Structure 1
Amino acid sequence: MKDNNALGIQYLQEGKYEEALAAFSEEIEQNPENAVAYVNFGNVLSAVGELEKAIKFFERALSKDESMGTAHYGLGNVYYQLEKWHEAKDHFELAMKKGVNDSDIYFMLGMTLLQFEQPKLALPYFQRAVELKPEDAEARFQYGLCLAGQGLIKEATTEFELVVESDEEHADAYYNLGVAYAYQENRDKAIEMLDKALDVQADHMLAAHAKKILTEN
Structure 2
Amino acid sequence: MFIVIGTLLGGCSALQGVNGHDQQNANVEKQLEKRQYLQQLEIEPEKLSERNPKENETIGDRYLQRGDINKAFLYYIKALQVEPDNSGLQYKVGTLLLKRDKYAEAEHSFSKILTMETENAPAREGLGKAYFGMKKYALAEVEFRKAVDLDPGLWQSFNYLGLIYSKQQDFEKSLVEYQKALELSPGNTEVINNMAISYFLQENYAKSVQLLEMAIRNKEPDKRMFNNLAVAYCKLNRYDNALEAFRRGADNEAVAYNNIGWEYMMDDQYGEAIKAFEKALSLNPRFYERASFNLEKARKAQSTSLQE
Separation in 2, partners of 1:67, 1:162: 37
Q: Which runs of 5+ in 1 are unaligned?
A: none
1:149-173: CA deviation from partner (whole Å, max 9, x where unpaired): 4565554332121133233842111
Q: CA deviation at 1:41?
A: 1.3
Residues 194 and 211 in structure 1, CA contact (< 8 A), matched pair in contact too: no
Partner of 1:193: 241
Structure 1 residues 193 and 3: alpha-carbon distance in aligned structure 2, compared to 1, 3 A threshold: farther
* Bigger Cα displacement from structure 2, 8-17 vs 125-134: 8-17
Separation in 2, partners of 1:129, 1:58: 22
2:163 to 108, 111, 119: 111
Q: Which runs of 5+ in 2 are unaligned?
A: 1-51, 273-308
TM, length-normalised to structure 1: 0.77
Partner of 1:173: 229
1:23-82: CA deviation from partner (whole Å, max 9, x where unpaired): 433543565443222111111222223322221111111111111111111111111111
Residues 141 and 173 in structure 1, CA contact (< 8 A), matched pair in contact too: no
1:52 to 104, 117, 129: 104
* Bigger Cα displacement from structure 2, 137-146 vs 9-18: 9-18
Residues 103 and 129 in structure 1, CA contact (< 8 A), matched pair in contact too: yes
Separation in 1, partners of 2:165, 2:180: 14
Partner of 2:73: 21
Separation in 2, partners of 1:115, 1:151: 15
Higher relative contact order (CA 8 A, sep 6+): 2
Alignment-mate amino acid for residue 126 of structure 1: Y
Partner of 2:47: none
1:68 to 120, 123, 127: 120
Structure 1 residues 97 and 193: alpha-carbon distance in aligned structure 2, compared to 1, 3 A threshold: same
1:180-207: CA deviation from partner (whole Å, max 9, x where unpaired): xx2xxxx5xx122222244334232653
Q: What's the C-alpha RMSD, in Å, of the aligned pairs?
A: 3.1
Alignment-mate amino acid for residue 227 of structure 2: A
Separation in 2, partners of 1:112, 1:214: 36
1:164 to 213, 216, 226: 216
TM, length-normalised to structure 2: 0.57
1:12 to 43, 46, 64: 64
Separation in 2, partners of 1:113, 1:8: 37
> Percent identity between the aligned chains?
18
Residues 166 and 198 in structure 2, CA contact (< 8 A), matched pair in contact too: no
1:99-178 equivalences under 5 Å are: 99=151, 101-150=153-202, 154-165=206-217, 166=219, 167=221, 169=223, 170-178=226-234
